[in-house]
Structure 1
């Protein structure tokens, strides 16, 4: 467990390293090396590995096995076995190289600071203990491309630093012993190498964070909007007030909101909309399902969704009265109609109505609705067409929950549906494609950030009172 001091020290951050930028933190084997060699502390002893060799760490029968390998991966010597934590440093603070996928290495990440290896019952956890500014240098290029430019990099650096600190203070990873992880569950870290432009951006914004009423904000960001930005309470229902994360219209159209499904469908079907991030391939997307495919998808997805959130499912009882219901493992039968019955102001789906041979059902919750209409992995003929780029097949998740459903009927029978959607990600806070476009047309980082985070201020981290 992490013990937060009073006041907490925020210049160092503990980053949980996942398998492949996902939420699995258990490792079975890694290989480490450095251009200047390695130093490690294990069982209260110090060990040195020369720069021409690698350290192999393997999980085996509830112990860590440490071996020294040559550059080709051949065993030189068996170093030790231990069930206690191991710390690995680069000589003279040199970067640590980590091979996580031994047989499929495309990019070998480099880690500043040091690595802490901790045994657990299913493998071992890796925690990168690193200075905050060094951490940001490896987050920024992993989150936005070089086309973001210097002002875009500055904006992303401030957002990433602010987000990291709010994550640290939340303590949501304390059970793992780290503050943030390296995946999209926090923010992506070390999936791409850093560069000189990033270093310049981070240095010029050192310690700069965003605040609202003198408190660190929750600087959420995502890839692409649908043309509207969602307020915090449209996506999360924890009753927390975050006035700086508000509903936003990023288009050049005078549209009040997208609560009406007719308006939402018309908006998502319009692929000519000009918005702050309409250059993104995912600004608009669609896919079509035959009635047969729709029946298969709904009836295979619905029971698992029901088990995960039974209170989200109701069935029509009398007139317009809906009551709690149970969903059969076999599903709800032949689908006769399906439509989005409620949207939030930004167009996020919030209620889905399905009429089937067994009754009329209402399902609430954007995540559940999104999952319900997601094609099965075995369906390889369903293509996700995007505004730009090649269509995608075998997609495991919809890009966002901002969508509506266009239905086709023949002789009063549902024959197919096309789901028209927009955006990529949760839609709250800063759009990264919007950041890129804003930087491209010459906006500075402060203008970029205040476009997405309302009524915020900029402050030096060292001057803020952390509660």
Structure 2
């Protein structure tokens, strides 16, 4: 690392380089009399105007930057958004203080995935404190300088940020101050245990992670924690977090392929590249390390090793998945009462559900969403559905106006029932409706005053892509994982990820 930095510094001096003040980033190495190709380096963050390399640091990007992908048999121009976070062999060419060219030597093959780790209960990706310990030996190192220390198995370090700098206390009580990025890395195949938060939906546990951690200051007193881990190791902690490991093997294999494809797509399309990661570890992406590892889940991953879904044009599919499909449009009681396809949906408890609000309960629920002068609550009605039958516009009517709640997720969040009846049981408070596929039964008294609202719904999740309970039902009916995937992603085909993808 130090050798590369030294080479980079000499090259800048020979090329007439200088240090210029960047309004947000401080000093940035700039300035060349003629284009200068820097040594290949790894991209940590990238936006349309700025890139951060692991060793070169931050460099601005010229608005007319040219980008080239070096394949085995050709060099082809690519758009800037094809230059991805995590690519390790990228040669930037600098001229007049900006990058004017990127040459990418990485094949479009995602070997590692960069995961933003959330705080307790997945509340935020911004951490104020991180406590960790290794199961073997662990190294903490500052980016660029090589300063740092080791921890032995069972020893703990505590990380905070103050005034934009890392403050780390090691197991001996020694205080270390570091710059804006540090790495936490264990021995090969070692595990890093986090002690400052827990995971798990039932039994809680302190999560253990493979790969390395990259900690980056994100404010005066907060920082991001990015777990960089191999794609297949990532899946080992995704599949059991997303699907019960007691389910049929063919359903688990379908989940493994869908999860692998989703991760590759997020890395390829790099929607979070400006923040330095590919996916989050929560339901905003796919859940990671929220359940114990399982031999059955690992078997499903190994038996589908490297398999992903691609579209007809060879681009990576967007393999969304969700809990339960209602198997049809729910717009009246007759449709809601039809449970003939329950078995095909794996006997999901969320196949049908209902809940109710009294007038007072509904007023309390929606008041924070209403403007001043709304008047008395008169009613609530479905204003619009999308092609999937989901309510995407919920109208709340008052004596002096009305308010529209738009968007599937916003509609679900607007109505938070205190209790809910499912197919075979009753559950307590829900932070949002299980799905937006529902209809309303509004009850009024003889004078037309609102009395209560009953909601009849079905399914759970956003209803895009593969139903996980449906995959279970198909597997139980004798379908293999290929048939399951073709059911939910009919326009996709499977390839082995080691096949080189192209844009």
Q: TM-score range by the shorter chain?
A: 0.7 to 0.9
- Relative to 1, partners in 2 of residues 1:91 and 1:367: Cα closer, same or farther, differing over 3 Å? closer
Partner of 1:15 in structure 2?
Answer: 115
Partner of 2:431 in structure 1?
Answer: 396
1:444 to 459, 480, 490: 480
TM-score by length of 2: 0.73
Partner of 1:284 in structure 2?
Answer: 352
* In 1, Cα distance between equivalents of 2:249 and 2:157: 37
Partner of 2:217 in structure 1?
Answer: 119
- Asked if residue 383 in structure 1 is aligned to residue 419 in structure 2, the reply is yes
Q: How big is the shift at 1:81?
A: 1.5
Contact 2:253 2:300 in 1 (8 A): yes
2:131 to 31, 34, 49: 31
Q: How big is the shift at 1:162?
A: 0.4
Q: Which moved more, 1:214-223 or 1:269-278?
A: 269-278
Partner of 2:400 in structure 1?
Answer: 358
- Structure 1 residues 127-171: Cα deviation after superposition (integer angstroms, max 9, x where no partner): 111111111111111111112232222111110110011111222
Partner secondary structure for residue 167 of structure 2:
strand
The total of aligned residue pairs comes to: 396
Partner of 1:100 in structure 2?
Answer: 196
> Which runs of structure 2 are paired with 1:181-192 in the superposition (5 Å)?
181-192=280-291
> Which runs of structure 2 are paired with 1:191-230 in the superposition (5 Å)?
191-213=290-312, 214-228=314-328
Partner of 1:156 in structure 2?
Answer: 255
Contact 1:268 1:404 in 2 (8 A): no
Partner of 1:407 in structure 2?
Answer: 442
Partner of 1:254 in structure 2?
Answer: none
- Structure 1 residues 436-465: Cα deviation after superposition (integer angstroms, max 9, x where no partner): 222333321111111111132110112242
2:166 to 64, 81, 89: 64
- Asked if residue 77 in structure 1 is aligned to residue 113 in structure 2, the reply is no
- Structure 1 residues 64-86: Cα deviation after superposition (integer angstroms, max 9, x where no partner): 222233xxxxxx33151212321
* In 2, Cα distance between equivalents of 1:158 and 1:103: 24
Q: 1 or 2 for the larger relative contact order (CA 8 Å, sep ≥6)?
A: 1
Q: How big is the shift at 1:60?
A: 3.5
* In 2, Cα distance between equivalents of 1:45 and 1:292: 61
Larger Rg: 2
Partner of 1:456 in structure 2?
Answer: 492
Q: How big is the shift at 1:371?
A: 3.5
5+ residue gaps, structure 1: 70-75, 229-256, 303-327, 376-381
Contact 1:282 1:388 in 2 (8 A): no
- Relative to 1, partners in 2 of residues 1:63 and 1:281: Cα closer, same or farther, differing over 3 Å? same
Q: How big is the shift at 1:342?
A: 3.3
2:182 to 86, 97, 105: 86
- Relative to 1, partners in 2 of residues 1:168 and 1:102: Cα closer, same or farther, differing over 3 Å? closer
Q: Which moved more, 1:457-466 or 1:134-143?
A: 457-466
Q: How big is the shift at 1:18?
A: 0.9
5+ residue gaps, structure 2: 1-44, 47-82, 88-103
* In 1, Cα distance between equivalents of 2:278 and 2:198: 27
* In 2, Cα distance between equivalents of 1:333 and 1:142: 45
Q: How big is the shift at 1:227?
A: 1.9
* In 2, Cα distance between equivalents of 1:218 and 1:102: 30
* In 2, Cα distance between equivalents of 1:46 and 1:342: 58
Runs of 4+ in 1 over 4 A off after TM superposition: 102-105, 269-273, 359-364
- Structure 1 residues 81-112: Cα deviation after superposition (integer angstroms, max 9, x where no partner): 21232111222431111123289992111111
Partner of 1:267 in structure 2?
Answer: 335
TM-score by length of 1: 0.78
2:390 to 324, 333, 348: 348
Partner of 1:143 in structure 2?
Answer: 242
